[in-house]
A and B are shown apart, each in its own frame.
Chain A
């Protein structure tokens, strides 16, 4: 970060553009939305965005780690659903105290992730296929647990607080999201594990020669991704006040969009945690801003798609100029 800033002061405009192109997109979005509706640029609305985007943020952190290693995780949405369905069943019908139910839920999320890790790391099945299969499998399990019904959970205070509680003016789910962001940042930037993740994403054979065990690292990251998805599942349950097997449907795509908007790439090797945060905020701002401006949701879909393609194209464009 310091290095980049130093160069930025030296007016290396290309480098600034390359490193922060997603930031420019973000600022543009904010500017346009502020012009469109004066209510957008308010502190309350910022907390609102943080609140709505907290789940996406948490889940996207795991995905950013996975993408840094050169993989992908499509199973996060159904993992969330399975977690909250099991926790909901334990709370509603099992009479289990909430700390234990929460712990079980998070463990379920992590173990579903570990299964991904084993299949990808040990059996070399491509991540896209593994996690696509797990997407179906976990969704099926979630329906099995709830028998396809919706479990109402509004009377479980701790769960509701997790999803929709406030500490003063700050949404509690936002606080959790920021903690997870901090943890992911530390893992990727400060820990040995982060170095290994980047190494196998950059060049797996070279990483092997350096004595890194890609199998074990892959198991770790998919487990972490599953763990974060499990936490995300609890948060969604707390927001909706219910658990059903349709929760998190399509979540994988908005999470992937956030990661891409933040300048992460599918080929792996470098991960941008803060980029993903900005990416999630871009999507959140777009949704919230366009709703405030009274734009119908179909335009939101169109604009989100355009923003995604534009941001990545800008990133590529600058990278190519720099190379030539």
Chain B
């Protein structure tokens, strides 16, 4: 009976990326039929632009979640880094490359602190990064003295607001980081070790994998990418604002989990995360395009998240003949 349901729904057997890809194609067809503007170059470039900020952070988050951690501080880090970058440019008059470099280093440093607290002091990732979120948010207000710092250098605006032809610059940056993250995760030994660390800690220990070091590096990478997103956003808004990025962590985690990465570690992919972010971006864009009211957008997003993850949980159950494979913590 279960197998029959699986066959009818067409959801048995395939990997999660393929499932999400099918869903995405279906959604795009429906959306294109419902609005003539949806499948236009301008709108698709818009989708790419809007999803790029979240997806950059999501690639770092994917590595962190695969190794069994989580990072709730990304939104606050993006805000702090954005404010810091604006301060470097505007208050201290540093050049653009130096400011951007220092900003990304700041993001990586915060990630380093996260990683050290988690693996050195054995604080649960959820709490450590929750605390860091509060600290970074506070420091963000502190640096900005409660207001935003506007960035007057127009050349800097190109990073977040410019285009290569029809492709927005942040989208290009996002794709570059997708490729880098893919290579780091799948083509290097430390990257592949992350799957072992998240999937089976004892096996990782037995195999002589340095768990602490790997974990710290995932948080450093995640922090650096949050920094990149923060710089791009500050450039797009031409302001370093201490109030941006609230709730970003949840959207980023949603994209990662939609992409089939297991919240318990050990399973996941960059391609899946890209598709997850693209799915959320596409749906959000369509809801805006159809001029739905804000509350409908929020509700649909929440509903879809539960639905897609729910279906994929059932798929895994069907594949393993009904034996539960995920603990439900």
Candidates B127, B294, B295, B302; contact of A312 at CB < 8 Å: B127
Shortest Cβ gap from B206 to chain A (Å): 20
The answer to the question of B188 belonging to the interface, with a C-beta cut-off of 8 Å to chain A, is: no
The answer to the question of A190 belonging to the interface, with a C-beta cut-off of 8 Å to chain B, is: no
Closest to B317 in A: A124
The answer to the question of B126 belonging to the interface, with a C-beta cut-off of 8 Å to chain A, is: yes
The answer to the question of B141 belonging to the interface, with a C-beta cut-off of 8 Å to chain A, is: yes
Chain A 188-205 interface mask (CB, 8 Å, partner B; 1/0)? 000000000000000010
Q: Is the CB of B131 within 8 A of A305?
A: yes
The answer to the question of A63 belonging to the interface, with a C-beta cut-off of 8 Å to chain B, is: no
> Quick one: which of A289-303 are within 8 Å of B by CB?
296-303
Interface extent on B, as a size class?
Answer: 35 or more
The answer to the question of A152 belonging to the interface, with a C-beta cut-off of 8 Å to chain B, is: no
> Quick one: which of A186-226 are within 8 Å of B by CB?
204, 214, 218
Q: Is the CB of B130 within 8 A of A268?
A: no
Q: Is the CB of B117 within 8 A of A301?
A: no
Instruction: Give the distance in Å from the alpha carbon of A257 to the alpha carbon of B324 in the complex.
Output: 31
Selected interface stretch from A5-13, A37-45, A259-267: A259-267
The answer to the question of A133 belonging to the interface, with a C-beta cut-off of 8 Å to chain B, is: yes
The answer to the question of A100 belonging to the interface, with a C-beta cut-off of 8 Å to chain B, is: no
Q: Which residues of B contact A137 (CB under 8 A)?
A: 298-299, 302-303, 306
Q: Is the CB of A133 within 8 A of B329?
A: no
Q: Is the CB of B298 within 8 A of A308?
A: no
Shortest Cβ gap from A307 to chain B (Å): 8
Closest to B295 in A: A143
The answer to the question of A130 belonging to the interface, with a C-beta cut-off of 8 Å to chain B, is: yes
Q: Given the interface contacts A140-B302, A260-B127, does A127 sit within 8 Å of B295 by beta carbon?
A: no
Q: Is the CB of B302 within 8 A of A305?
A: no
Candidates A128, A214, A267, A305; contact of B253 at CB < 8 Å: A128
Shortest Cβ gap from B192 to chain A (Å): 25
The answer to the question of B146 belonging to the interface, with a C-beta cut-off of 8 Å to chain A, is: yes
Q: Is the CB of A305 within 8 A of B328?
A: no
The answer to the question of B50 belonging to the interface, with a C-beta cut-off of 8 Å to chain A, is: no
Candidates A124, A140, A253, A299; contact of B299 at CB < 8 Å: A140
Chain A 112-138 interface mask (CB, 8 Å, partner B; 1/0)? 000000011001111111101111111
Instruction: Give the distance in Å from the alpha carbon of A135 to the alpha carbon of B303 in the complex.
Output: 10
Shortest Cβ gap from A270 to chain B (Å): 14
Chain B 125-150 interface mask (CB, 8 Å, partner A; 1/0)? 01110111111111111100010000
Q: Is the interface of B mostly helix, strand, loop or mixed?
A: helix
Instruction: Give the distance in Å from the alpha carbon of A124 to the alpha carbon of B123 in the complex.
Output: 27
The answer to the question of A148 belonging to the interface, with a C-beta cut-off of 8 Å to chain B, is: yes
Shortest Cβ gap from A267 to chain B (Å): 7
Q: Given the interface contacts A141-B295, A302-B139, does A133 sit within 8 Å of B305 by beta carbon?
A: yes
The answer to the question of A309 belonging to the interface, with a C-beta cut-off of 8 Å to chain B, is: yes
Instruction: Give the distance in Å from the alpha carbon of A304 to the alpha carbon of B136 in the complex.
Output: 11
> Quick one: which of A46-78 are within 8 Å of B by CB?
70-71, 74
Q: Which residues of A contact B314 (CB under 8 A)?
A: 123
Candidates B139, B304, B306; contact of A298 at CB < 8 Å: B139
The answer to the question of A156 belonging to the interface, with a C-beta cut-off of 8 Å to chain B, is: no
Candidates A139, A214, A306, A320; contact of B122 at CB < 8 Å: A320
Candidates B127, B305, B328; contact of A132 at CB < 8 Å: B305
Instruction: Give the distance in Å from the alpha carbon of A250 to the alpha carbon of B248 in the complex.
Output: 12
The answer to the question of B6 belonging to the interface, with a C-beta cut-off of 8 Å to chain A, is: no
Instruction: Give the distance in Å from the alpha carbon of A265 to the alpha carbon of B305 in the complex.
Output: 26
Q: Is the CB of A316 within 8 A of B317?
A: no
Candidates A125, A140, A317; contact of B306 at CB < 8 Å: A125
Candidates B126, B134, B141, B309; contact of A129 at CB < 8 Å: B309
The answer to the question of B327 belonging to the interface, with a C-beta cut-off of 8 Å to chain A, is: yes
Q: Is the CB of B306 within 8 A of A299?
A: no
Candidates B302, B317, B326; contact of A136 at CB < 8 Å: B302
Shortest Cβ gap from B31 to chain A (Å): 20
Candidates B135, B293, B297, B310; contact of A125 at CB < 8 Å: B310
- Additional A-B contact list (6), CB under 8 Å, known A136-B305, A301-B137, A306-B131: A120-B328, A129-B309, A135-B302, A253-B133, A297-B141, A308-B127
Measuring CB to CB, which residues of chain B are less than 8 angstroms from any residue of chain A?
A: 117, 121-124, 126-128, 130-142, 146, 246, 250, 253-254, 257, 263, 293-306, 309-310, 313-314, 317, 324, 326-329
Measuring CB to CB, which residues of chain A are less than 8 angstroms from any residue of chain B?
A: 70-71, 74, 119-120, 123-130, 132-144, 148, 204, 214, 218, 245, 250, 253, 256-257, 260, 265-268, 296-306, 308-309, 312-313, 316-317, 320
A-B contact pairs, 11 of them (CB 8 A): A70-B328, A120-B328, A126-B313, A129-B309, A141-B295, A148-B293, A257-B134, A266-B126, A267-B329, A298-B137, A301-B141
